[in-house]
Amino acid sequence: QVQLQESGPGLVKPSQTLSLTCSVSGGSISTGGYYWNWIRQRPGEGLEWVGYIFYSGSTYYNPSLKSRVTISVDTSKNQFSLKLSSVTAADTAFYYCAGGSSVTAIPIAFWGQGTLVTVSS
């Protein structure tokens, strides 16, 4: 049973870069066919896909965030990470990491518990 856990600062200043890490346990991040997603949810709003990195290293981002987002993988630590640059208050949200599988065509099979990031000076 794969489990995910987000970690990172809960408070980020405007114009700075938000950085979060997702630790994967119970399975290898290098397993073929897996997607590693970041999803966010502004308080009181719906879910928004931020992007994913494929097991091969290919990345795909939400077009509305693409210019500010980088998702990367550290296979040695079995982790993947999110960086979102030039943040504003509109980036205040719960951020979830999640895994999916291209083999079973499920974009989001399992979820982390989420972490709240507040953008404020």
**Footprint of other proteins (CB under 8 A):** 37, 39, 46-49, 51-52, 60-64, 96, 104-114
The residue (of 15 and 56) whose beta carbon lies closer to other proteins is 56
Least distance (Å) between residue 8 CB and other proteins: 16
Least distance (Å) between residue 121 CB and other proteins: 27
The residue (of 83 and 108) whose beta carbon lies closer to other proteins is 108
| 6-10 own/partner pairs: CB under 8 Å, 24+ apart | 6/95, 6/96, 6/97, 6/112, 6/113, 6/114, 6/115, 7/115, 8/115, 8/117, 9/117, 10/115, 10/116, 10/117, 10/118
* Geometric angle at alpha carbon 32, from 57 and 78, rounded to 5°: 65
Least distance (Å) between residue 56 CB and other proteins: 13
Termini Cα distance of the chain: 39
Whether the Cβ atoms of residue 22 and residue 6 lie closer than 8 Å to each other: yes
The residue (of 52 and 55) whose beta carbon lies closer to other proteins is 52
The residue (of 2 and 78) whose beta carbon lies closer to other proteins is 2
Least distance (Å) between residue 114 CB and other proteins: 5
